[in-house]
Amino acid sequence: MELTAGISRIERIFPASQARGDVRDLILLQPGWADALGLAKGLAEKGWRAHISMDTQEAIRCLRSNHFYVGIALLDANFSEEMQSQLSEVISESGFTEWIAIVDPGSLTSIEHAAFLSTFFFDFHTTPVDIRRLTYSLGHAYGAAKLNEASRGEFRLSVNQRFGLIGSSKAMSQVYDSIQKISRSDEPVIITGETGTGKELIARAIHGLSSRAEKPFIPVSCGAIPETLVQSEFFGHNKGAFTGAVEERIGHFEAAEGGTVYLDEIENLSPLGQVSLLRFLQEKELTPLGSKKPRTVDVRIIASAGPNLTEAVAAGVIREDLFYRLNVLHIDVPPLRERDTDAAEIAEYFVDRFNQGKRRNAKRLSKKAISAILEYSWPGNVRELMGCVNRAAVLSTGRLITEGDLGLSRPVRFSGRTLREVKAQAVEQAVMSALAESKSITSAARRLGVSRVTLYRLMEKHSITVPGAEHAAG
């Protein structure tokens, strides 16, 4: 394994025995020093190169830039609740890494500790460590993690190919894991994330991988339905149910029978719509407008919302009871700027799509264009990226799509000044411009929205003088 930046300092890495050809790396987490060193030496003799992390934060940093198939956590006799929560954070960060705990035999008498170990660890050993048994266990964990990685890779590839959902960042790996688990269940789902992050695409993947795949997937934009039409849109109506109901019509929920209804922008659903949806989720029945006969309908609900869903619930925009009904399963889709090199991978995918069917003049992105894509912050996420790449592909004259074809504005670089300095300079400039463009101190103060006294104080502070200012005042 090639280890990249972020690894613990070199003196903390224990080289494995040179006699052994096959050296395997592992991360060794220990908030104390001495035991870890002893263990690392023992492991080195058995062909394991230990990368020691002294605390959980260091371990997280190391795991963000390196992959380890196995990790060992050396735990204190009374590992506290706080330590357990920190460790679970490290373990979730480590993706497919399998973890082995080394514990004091006394700690196993606690049911909580035992439950923690069985939830988060592949195996555990008690002190004093039997290095032969430990290396045996490490070998198993290593094999299991490799298998796990391979099957996850295959799953990602099939999602890429079947649904066009691209990206191999760590952040997206977690999304693929969730898609796989959630597609096996039938519970409601909420997908949150900024606009254009791929929430609908993810919902389609969940549906397409579920047992409902052969049945309809019906997207409904909640913000587009006026309050007066929400029940008819959701549940349908009978002929004559209201003025203009000239014929019977089935609603989206019935149209999706056996499949999935995707409720886009749930935070924009009207209060009446929210009550109707809640009732449907509780009773699994709907009654079309103008009918008295309730009908049982089998649909799965997947809802999407912006990244501030909990704030929307706290502010009363979404009913709390509806939120809890929907929020059984949750996927939070990270913005594109937080997905390592996904932007470049997705851009190349869009260029390939653009090239499809073209025998000649297939285009590709220049190296500088790829760097510009990776530097840009993509506030409109994948949707913006797609528009940008397609436009550039059309407009570019040569085979190479250049940085200029993309037309991306460069991010504003950090000026090196403190916020206090930036603020002081902005105030000084505003005062000078207001004074220059005003006939008197009084009118300059009014334009700046401050009192004359405040303006005089600011002028003094920034050493700004206006010839004859006193005379003009008034």
Ligand X SMILES: Nc1ncnc2c1ncn2[C@@H]1O[C@H](COP(=O)(O)OP(=O)(O)OP(=O)(O)O)[C@@H](O)[C@H]1O
What residues line the site for ligand X (CB under 6 A)?
Answer: 164-167, 193, 195-201, 264, 304, 346, 382-383, 386
Q: Which is nearer to ligand X, 166 or 220 (CB)?
A: 166
**Cα 350 to Cα 355: distance, rounded to the nearest angstrom:** 9
Give min distance, CB of 399 to ligand X, in A. 23
| Minimum CB distance to ligand X, residue 215 (Å) | 20
Q: Which is nearer to ligand X, 140 or 383 (CB)?
A: 383
Q: What is the nearest approach in angstroms of ligand X to the Cβ of residue 194? A: 7
Residue identified by tokens 């990368």 is 51
Output 195 or 308, the one with its CB closest to ligand X.
195
**266 vs 431, which CB is nearer to ligand X?**
266
Tokens of 373: 């894509």
**CB of 186 or CB of 200, closer to ligand X:** 200
Q: In angstroms, give the least distance from the CB of 12 to ligand X.
A: 37
416: left (phi over 0), alpha (psi -120 to 50) or beta: left
Q: Are 200 and 264 in contact (CB under 8 A)?
A: yes
Smaller CB distance to ligand X: residue 145 or 389?
Answer: 389
Residue with Cβ nearer ligand X (277 or 333): 333
Q: Are 294 and 199 in contact (CB under 8 A)?
A: no
Residue nearest to ligand X as judged by C-beta position: 198
Q: Least Å distance between CB 264 and ligand X?
A: 5
Q: Which is nearer to ligand X, 191 or 441 (CB)?
A: 191
Rounded least distance, CB 26 to ligand X, Å: 32
- CB-CB contact of 428 with 392 (8 Å): no
CB of 212 to ligand X, least distance (A): 19
Closest CB 152 distance from ligand X, rounded Å: 16
The least CB distance from residue 318 to ligand X, in Å, is 16
If the CB atoms of residues 140 and 330 are measured against ligand X, the closer one turns out to be 330
CB of 224 to ligand X, least distance (A): 12
- Closer residue to ligand X in complex, CB, 129/386: 386
